[in-house]
Amino acid sequence: MRVIVVGAGVLGTMHAWHAIERGHEVLHLEREAEARGASVRNFGQIWVSGRAGGEELATALRARDLWEGIGARVPELGFRAIGSLTVVKNAAEKAVAEAATRRPDAAARGYELLSADRARALNPALRGEFAGALWCERDAAVEPRTAQRALKSKLLESGRYTYLGGREVREVVGERAVRDDHGDTHHGDAVVLCTGAWLGGLVRELIPDLPVRRVRLQMMQTDPLGEPLTTSVADADSFRYYPAYRSDALDALNAGQEQAPTASAHKMQLLMVQRADGGLTIGDTHEYAAPFAFDTVEEPYEHLTGVVESILGRPLPRIRRRWAGVYAQCTDTARVVHRQQVRDGVWLVTGPGGRGMTCSPAIAETTANELGW
């Protein structure tokens, strides 16, 4: 087959990967020179720990295995099976972690509630004061700023992959063909549109009532820490935003312990991952009401700095970068992704939300299976 993939973010790239793996030819079109959206503006976390039970967890676990296999073939991805620690600071937060370890799927996630001493033994950089941590063995990380480039280089080795950057697809032409903004028409046996948070233009014309919304977040990255951060790290605010932690204990936490005002106003949690150069990627916020601001605000960064310093027990290195990103999320947040046939032989796959980096290999695999590649 000749497969046309539109969009060179992680979701589009993984669709190209599966098509090449199954022996097909791929034409990959991207409106920018290379991916510049949410696929490069995230933590690079392969985040199993907070996923909802059922289909979402199964997708994340399958994707985790796929990432590890791809990482072995593409070392430049920087795949690291580092796990995660969600730090708890009091009895109410600890109760939520304990409830998580009693889930029927806790073993599949690799959950274990650790004492503060055991958490520090696992991640010696955590020298602050805390009561314990929820360990998730199945979490992992890759390098988001370079992952798509590394995958593209590997795909080019096949001799069956063509990449055209700077080509915005403007129109679906008949069956299994698209026209770009250079006036060129590209024909294939299947077309997959992975347009990310670009929900206007062509996407709106194809599906005016698409059940997907845009979500904005702010993040930052530091200079090198000067020591290894051997796991990814979250704080207990993440319990409030991930479905795996829903429990009576979480209800009690929400009723009895308010978030800090800045965290509540910006719908915040701490997620932190160390990059290959030693710097820390730290976030994040959530904003749902469009139109989004064009600028970033400082209060969330100040809040995150305080949270991180309390966990590390030391000053944070200098902030090197700050940025905002936007991703596409299904309005029915229980859905892993929105996958819809929009014309004969033309499919739109979008809306994984914050699961995109984690789940994209398995989402693309499912598309390939359903389309009979």
Secondary structure string (H, E, C) spanning the chain = CEEEEECCCHHHHHHHHHHHHCCCEEEEEECCCCCCCHHHCCCCEECCCCCCCCHHHHHHHHHHHHHHHHHHHCHHHCCECCCEEEEECCHHHHHHHHHHHCCCCHHHHCEEEEEHHHHHHHCCCCCCCCCEEEEECCCEECCHHHHHHHHHHHHHCCCCEEEEECCCEEEECCCCEEEECCCCEEECCEEEECCCCCCCCHHHHHCCCCCEEEEEEEEEEECCCCCCCCCEEEEHHHHHCCHHHCCHHHHHHHHHCCCCHHHHHCCCCCEEEECCCCCEEEECCCECCCCCCCCCCCHHHHHHHHHHHHHHCCCCCCEEEEEEEEEEEECCCCCCCEEEEEECCEEEEECEHHHHHHHHHHHHHHHHHHCCC
Give pLDDT, residue 66: 98
**Torsion angle of the four alpha carbons 288, 41, 258, 83, in this order, in degrees rounded to the nearest 10:** 130
CA 250 to each of CA 99, 123, 128, 245: distance values in angstroms, whole numbers, following the listed order: 9, 26, 24, 7
Structure tokens, 189? 């046996």
**Mean pLDDT value of segment 43-55:** 96
Give pLDDT, residue 316: 97
Task: Quote the pTM value.
Answer: 0.96
174 pLDDT more than 90: no
Other beta carbons within 10 angstroms of residue 171's beta carbon come to 15
**Mean pLDDT value of segment 148-162:** 97
Which tens digits make up the pLDDT trace of 319-346? 999 999 999 999 998 899 999 999 999 9
75 pLDDT more than 90: yes
In the chain, which segments carry CATH 3.50.50.60? 1-81+141-209+336-373
In the chain, which segments carry CATH 3.30.9.10? 84-137+212-330
175 pLDDT more than 90: no
Give pLDDT, residue 320: 97
CATH topology of domain 84-137+212-330: D-Amino Acid Oxidase; Chain A, domain 2 (3.30.9)
CATH architecture type of domain 1-81+141-209+336-373: 3-Layer(bba) Sandwich (3.50)
Other beta carbons within 10 angstroms of residue 153's beta carbon come to 11
**Mean pLDDT value of segment 41-53:** 96
- The rounded mean pLDDT for the chain is 97
Instruction: Please give the angle made by the CA atoms of 232, 234 and 235, to the nearest 5 degrees.
Output: 155
Structure tokens, 132? 């314990």
Backbone angles phi, psi at 126, to 5 degrees: -90, 90
pLDDT band at 182 (very low <50, low <70, confident <90, very high): very high
Backbone angles phi, psi at 85, to 5 degrees: -125, 125
Which tens digits make up the pLDDT trace of 117-136? 999 999 999 999 999 999 99
Give pLDDT, residue 278: 98
Which tens digits make up the pLDDT trace of 245-291? 999 999 999 999 999 999 999 999 999 999 999 999 999 999 999 89
Q: How far apart are the first and last CA of the chain?
A: 8
